[in-house]
Amino acid sequence: MLFGYEWDLSSPLAFAVSILPILLTGMLVTIQATVVGFLVALVLGLVLAVLKAAPSRLIAWPARVVTEFIRDTPLLVQLFFLYYVLPEYGIVLPAFMTGALALGIQYSAYTSEVYRAGLEAVGTDQREAARALSFSPTHTFTHVVVPQAIPRIVPAMGNYLVSIMKDVPVLSVVTVLEMLNVAKIVGDRTFDYLVPLSMVGALYLIMTLVASSGVRLLDNWLPKQGIPLK
């Protein structure tokens, strides 16, 4: 028994059926961590992209240095830093939030480059047309550049969403009970790792296929051509 769940060891099939509920509980934690981490990566990545595109080198260069530092250091090191170092300075976060934040920070370095490429792909003629219509720089960015950049960045962002999902098991080192950690605990208690780990692999396959299909549907639904100025 674990967390109130009982399992049947009489046969592999019975064992798989009995541990499915607790694995689904772990899967829910995995999905939550993926969503929170992805949202952090989207927001922080956009901030880094805007800062790196700033005309002032005093703003752009520090943002590029931070991006390179985040991208070139392992996720596990960043996770341990947030989990063990921040409490020494009075910043204590729950294990789940620490893990999701680490995922978001790690992938923000990559999403910032996706943002940059998407924004630069918007033709200068669009900006010039907006300027000719007396659009302010803010209005041009939010109503002209961004709507045309989004369809271009969706596939790459979808790839990073799947990558974040597959990196969630790293959070088990800071006691987050995501799906793989739950399967490991079940295996430790029953000395049978084949069934729970195989089920985790199958559940991950299902989740990644669903996420990839959703990204493809979104990519097909969004317009690929430039959005007319109004």
Q: What is the pLDDT of residue 151?
A: 84
Q: Name the phi and psi angles at 176, rounded to 5.
A: -75, 125
Q: How far is Cα 94 from Cα 131, in angstroms, rounded to an integer?
A: 47
| pLDDT, tens digit only, all 230 positions of the chain | 555 566 777 888 999 999 999 999 999 999 999 999 999 999 999 999 989 988 899 999 999 999 999 999 999 999 999 999 999 999 999 999 999 999 999 999 999 999 988 888 777 777 777 777 777 777 777 777 777 888 889 999 999 999 999 999 999 999 999 999 999 999 998 889 999 999 999 999 999 999 999 999 998 888 765 544 44
**What angle (nearest 5°) sits at the alpha carbon of residue 102, between those of residues 204 and 32?**
40
Please enumerate in sequence order all residues whose Cβ is within 8 A of that of 108, keeping only pairs 6 or more positions apart, or say none: 40, 41, 44, 45, 48, 70
Answer whether 33's CB lies under 8 Å from 103's CB. Answer: yes
Q: What is the pLDDT of residue 229?
A: 44
Answer whether 198's CB lies under 8 Å from 186's CB. Answer: no
Q: What is the pLDDT of residue 1?
A: 52
What is this structure's pTM? 0.89
Q: How far is Cα 185 from Cα 214, in angstroms, rounded to an integer?
A: 32
Please enumerate in sequence order all residues whose Cβ is within 8 A of that of 26, keeping only pairs 6 or more positions apart, or say none: 177, 178, 179, 180, 181, 182, 183
